[in-house]
Amino acid sequence: MSRILAGLVALLAVAALLGASGARGDEPITVYAAASLAEVFPRIDPGAHFQFAGSNQLATQIRQGAPADVFASASPVYTQQLYRDALVERPRVFATNTLVVAVPRSNPAHIGSIWDLARRPKLRLVVAGPKVPIGLYTRHVLERLGLLAVLRKSVSQETDVKGIVGKLALGEADAGFVYATDVHAASSRLTAIAIPKRAQPAVRYELAVVRGSHNADAAWSFVADVLSSTGRRQLARAGFGVP
**143-177 residue pLDDT tens:** 999 999 999 999 999 999 999 999 999 999 999 99
- What residue numbers bound the domain in which 178 lies? 99-199
CATH of the domain at 211: 3.40.190.10
Instruction: Using the predicted structure, report yes or no on whether residue 236 has a pLDDT greater than 60.
Output: yes
Quick: pLDDT tens for 94-113. Answer: 999 999 999 999 999 999 99
Q: Is 229 inside a domain boundary? A: yes
Q: Given the DSSP bridges, would you call strands 49-53 and 125-128 parallel, antiparallel or unpaired?
A: unpaired
Residues 117 and 189 in one domain: yes
Cα first-last separation, the chain: 66
Q: Are residues 136 and 184 in the same domain?
A: yes
Q: Is residue 23 part of a domain?
A: no
Query: What are the angstrom distances between the C-alpha of 226 and each of 26, 234, 236?
Result: 20, 9, 12
Same domain, 114 and 193: yes
Indicate if 145 and 182 belong to the same structural domain.
yes
Q: What is the pLDDT of residue 148?
A: 97
Same domain? 151 vs 228? no
Provide the residue type at 116 as one letter.
Answer: D
Q: Which helix (H) or strand (E) holds 208?
A: strand 203-209
Q: How far apart are CA 133 and CA 203, in angstroms?
A: 9
**pLDDT at position 243, please?**
87
pLDDT (tens digit per residue) in 181-191: 999 999 999 99
pTM assigned to the model: 0.86
Domain presence at residue 74: yes
pLDDT tens readout for residues 4-40? 444 433 433 433 433 433 334 468 999 999 999 999 9
Asked if residues 223 and 93 have their Cβ atoms less than 8 Å apart, the reply is no
Same domain, yes or no, for 117 and 209? no
Nearest residue to 88 (alpha-carbon basis) of 70, 74, 73: 70
State how many domains the chain has.
2
- Tens of pLDDT, residues 24-82: 446 899 999 999 999 999 999 999 999 999 999 999 999 999 999 999 999 999 999 99
Q: In a 3-state reduction of DSSP, which class is residue 213?
A: coil
Q: In which region does residue 213 sit, left (phi positive, over 0), alpha (psi from -120 to 50) or beta (all else)? A: beta
Considering Cα of 169, then 174, then 180, then 184, what sign does the dihedral take?
positive
Task: Note whether 192 and 129 are same-domain residues.
Answer: yes
